[in-house]
Chains A and B, each alone.
Chain A
Amino acid sequence: MIEVEQLEKTYSTGRMATPVLKGISFRINEGEYVAIMGTSGTGKSTLMNILGCLDKPTTGRYLLDDTDVGSLDDDALSHLRNKKIGFVFQQFHLLERSTAMRNVTLPLIYVDEYPEDVEKMAEKALAAVGLTDRRQYRPNELSGGQQQRVAIARALITDPEIILADEPTGALDRKSGLEVMSIFKKLHQQGHTIILVTHDQAVAEHAQRIIVLKDGQITEDRLIKKQRDPDLELGNGEEKR
């Protein structure tokens, strides 16, 4: 469960202090599918970095499963990211010279107790994104959509509570984008908490709930009555479940 209270973030460059987040509060329950929306410069990247434990708020509280993230040191934050958060980035950020398999297992390098069945775990994660047969492929041998699916498998490998996706379809064509959204839909159905950060209303509508940021403040926090169904739009709702 995520709970933010009066979150503020101010960047100081020299004598100038620029407030980016100005008192944000919300709560995301386990298993929710939330889109955080806003145009660029509204503080949504900053919010995502804080939610992802990559950055700390200037003031206010961020509770992640009752842990006060703001009070943790750098090592503890790394540890928390490794354990609880799976990142999906717009630019995929795969290791170019490593196979899909190595990319997917990367987060396991930094776990405390290395699991014995790493291969099986990786296979399972790759199967979840439909890339079982691409295990030994390197990123340059994969399409953009496939690369993003490898990145999603990497986010899944540690079985994190939260999947944090930053414009996951931003670098993809329509069809590949829908395929990625279809995977998120499935993951949500399996009980994962998904936070989607996007500027695109159409992408946000795949979620159950939209939080709209404007000028560092929440202007809207509503449930979506009719979610978009990527499977339906792909026209293969029947085969793909």
Chain B
Amino acid sequence: MRIQRIIMQGIHALGANKTRTFFMMAGTIVGIAALTVIMAMGSGAEKKVMKRIEGFGPRAIMLIAGGGKDLPPPDLTVSTLTLDDAEAIRDKVEGIETASPAAFKRGIPIKAGSAQSTATIFAVEPDWNEAWDWYVSDGDPIAAEDVATLARVCVIGQTLSHDLFGNESPIGKYIRIQNVRFRIKGVLERRGTSPIGTDFDNRALIPLTTGMRRLFNQDYITYVRIKVKNLDHITSVQKDVRQLIHERHHILPSQENDFRIVSAKAVGNMARGTSGTLSSLLIALAGLSLLVGGVVLMNILLISVGERQKEIGLRRAVGATRKDILFQFLVESLAVTCSGMILGSGLGTVITLILMQTTKIPVVLSWEPFALSLGFALLVGTFFGVQPARKAASLNPVDVLR
């Protein structure tokens, strides 16, 4: 077919002048490579955010003692949040599945025979497991009876278990927490580490009453973990809880809160915050290099049309129509941007893989950047190719064949 033959003419012309073709391509290669890397980093960051939200619990709201805007860790010396607050939330706020109060203390020394360690001690109620979606992998959880009787029983995390008992099962054994003897009745599922590196599995759960009266000697709690019935309730529950605690703590609108409420959404926004501005900056940069690449492409094409006037005139003389010439130059422009896109995608993928291997920057490779790059390549190739192609097609063979 004629079209096919003309396409081949365009490609042959590019192959015949490799240096020029490379310079035409350079901008597209850099732009597309940058785009690929940035998008890989963007999806990496988003994946990390999603993981954070997942880790926090998408349906969770934390009511934490102490004001301020930051995320946990909470201020453990604030004593205004009480069990009655938790009770009130359970009674008065609609759309709640669980509202589990807890108090905790970090760095508590723990002994088992001659072995010793330090861990975070959580004083919890039986619905803690459900509130955190975190259950025992072995033995039994803290029961309502344990709370009622101030029982000296505990459930321990896998790290603590390993530190004290090695590979043996700790169930039924005894440990000393601040010199109080506790019987281990269960082991928690492994949870890993937090985004900032805290080991979630180095902990022990004890009944809330036992913790508050026997161990910590305090009448306040650290937080209430609220789980809403479904995601739509998050905002309303958050609002209701805030209002309720405002009333109960007699806080005026002008006064600073002595608590804060953190939801999965807030966690996501926090995590997104910095990476968001960074990646929009980088996307702008990639766009800019594509634009510059396009302008360079157009200029070289225009120069090339000038240099190839005789060729164009000759082609017209031997039978090429204006459309044939227009089409050939568009083909050249598009072939440049499309091959630039392929090379750029390849380069970007290689850079992404290197980042993956050598740095901790989260990256995700997917097909979307390729689709987007192809779109950009076609757009840039057409947009910046049309004018030179028009110029080539409008040349009068009589004028250029002298």
Binding site for B on A (CB under 8 A): 45, 49, 52, 54-55, 74-75, 78-79, 81-83, 87, 89, 91, 93, 95, 97-98, 102, 106-107, 109-112, 114, 154, 158
Assuming the contacts A55-B398, A110-B2, A114-B5, asked whether A82 and B16 have C-beta atoms less than 8 A apart, the reply is no
Contact residues of B: prevailing secondary structure: helix
CB pair B9 A109 closer than 8 Å = yes
Known: A109-B9, A112-B2. A97 touches B321 (CB 8 A): no
Bound CA span A41–B319, Å: 27
Known contacts being A49-B398, A89-B401, A110-B2, is A98 close to B319, with CB within 8 Å? no
Q: Is the CB of B315 within 8 A of A106?
A: yes
Would you list which residues of chain B between 1 and 58 have a CB under 8 Å from chain A?
1-2, 5-6, 9, 12, 16-17
Instruction: Name the residue among B12, B319, B321, B402 with the largest chain A CB count within 10 angstroms.
Output: B319
**Residue contact B322 to A74, C-beta cutoff 8 Å:** yes
Contact indicator per residue, chain B 304-333, by CB within 8 Å of chain A (1) or not (0): 000000110111111111111000000000
With CB as the reference atom, state the residue of chain A lying closest to B322.
A74
Which residue from chain B places its CB closest to the CB of A93 in the assembled complex? B314
B397 beta carbon closer than 8 Å to chain A: yes
How many residues of B are in contact with the other chain, CB < 8 A? 26
Task: Give A52 to B401 CA distance when docked, in angstroms.
Answer: 12
Known contacts A83-B319, A89-B401; A109/B314 CB under 8 A? no
The reply to whether A52 and B320 contact each other, CB–CB distance below 8 Å, is no
Q: CB-CB < 8 A to A102: which residues of B?
A: 12
B319 proximity list for chain A (CB < 8 A): 78-79, 81-83, 107, 109-111, 158
The answer on a CB contact under 8 Å between B317 and A87 is yes
- Which residues of A are found within 8 Å of B316, using beta-carbon distances? 54, 78, 81
What residue in chain B is nearest A97 (Cβ atoms)? B16
Which of chain B's residues have a CB closer than 8 A to the CB of A158? Answer: 319
Among A54, A75, A83, A97, contact of B317 (Cβ-Cβ < 8 Å): A54
Q: Which A residues lie within 8 Å of B5 (CB)? A: 109, 114
A176 to chain B, nearest CB (A): 21
Pick the 7 closest A-B CB pairs, nearest first: A82-B319, A110-B319, A97-B16, A107-B318, A78-B321, A93-B314, A109-B5
Tell me whether A97 and B2 are in contact in the complex, defined as CB-CB below 8 angstroms, given that A74-B321, A81-B317, A82-B319 are known contacts: no
A87:B12 contact, CB within 8 angstroms: no
Which residues from B are CB-within-8-Å of A98? 12, 16
Best-buried of B9, B401, B402 by chain A (most CB within 10 Å): B401
| Alpha-carbon separation in the docked complex, A154 to B17 (Å) | 23
Q: How far is the CA of A109 from the CA of B5 in the complex (A)?
A: 6
A91–B398 CA distance with the chains assembled, in angstroms: 14
Pair A110/B401 contact, Cβ less than 8 Å: no
Is there an interface contact between B17 and A93, defined as CB atoms closer than 8 Å?
no
B5: nearest chain-A partner, CB-CB: A109
15 extra interface residue pairs, beta carbon distance < 8 Å, beyond A95-B314, A109-B315: A54-B398, A74-B322, A81-B319, A89-B401, A93-B314, A98-B16, A106-B314, A107-B318, A109-B2, A109-B5, A109-B6, A110-B315, A110-B319, A110-B320, A154-B318
- A81 and B17 within 8 A (CB): no
Quote the shortest CB–CB distance from B187 to chain A (angstroms).
76
B1 to A: closest C-beta gap in Å: 8
- A54→B318 contact, CB < 8 A: no
Q: Return A44 CB to nearest CB of chain B, in Å.
A: 13
Question: Least Cβ distance of A18 to chain B in Å?
Answer: 15
User: B313: which A residues are within 8 A, CB to CB?
Assistant: 93
| A82 and B6 alpha carbons, distance in the complex (Å) | 15
In the complex, A81 Cα to B314 Cα: how many Å?
A: 11
Residues in B353-382 with C-beta less than 8 Å from chain A: none
Q: Which residues of A contact B314 (CB under 8 A)?
A: 93, 95, 106
> How far apart are A88's CB and chain B's nearest CB, in angstroms?
11
Residue in B310, B318, B324 with the greatest tally of chain A CB atoms within 10 Å: B318
User: What residues on B are CB-neighbors of A109 within 8 Å?
Assistant: 2, 5-6, 9, 315, 319-320
Instruction: Give 7 CB contacts A-B under 8 Å.
Output: A75-B322, A93-B313, A106-B314, A107-B318, A109-B319, A114-B1, A114-B2
Chain B residues closer than 8 Å to A91, beta-carbon distance = 310
CA distance A102 to B318 in the complex (A): 14
Complex-state Cα separation, A112 to B5, whole angstroms: 11
**Is B17 touching A97 in the complex (CB atoms < 8 A)?**
yes
What residues of A have a CB within 8 angstroms of the CB of B397 in the complex?
A: 54
Contact with A along B282-316 (1 / 0, CB 8 A): 00000000000000000000000000001101111
B143 to chain A, nearest CB (A): 86
Alpha-carbon distance between A82 and B321 when the two chains are bound, in angstroms: 10
Q: Which residue of A lies closest to B314 (CB)?
A: A93
Determine whether the beta carbon of B318 is less than 8 Å from that of A82: yes
Least CB distance, B332 to chain A, in whole angstroms: 14
**CA separation between A91 and B321, bound complex, in Å?**
22
Residue of B nearest to A111 (CB): B319
For the complex, what is the distance from the CA of A2 to the CA of B402, rounded to whole Å? 24
Say whether A52 contacts B318, CB under 8 Å. no
Cα distance, A112 to B324, chains bound together (Å):
12
CB-nearest residue of chain B to A74:
B322
Distance from B13 Cβ to chain A, minimum over Cβ atoms (Å): 8
**A106–B6 CA distance with the chains assembled, in angstroms:** 10
B394 to chain A, nearest CB (A): 11
| A78 close to B311 (CB less than 8 A) | no
How far is A106 from B9 in the complex, measured between Cα atoms in Å?
9
Q: Are A95 and B311 in contact (CB under 8 A)?
A: yes
CB-contact partner of B318 in A55, A97, A110, under 8 A:
A110
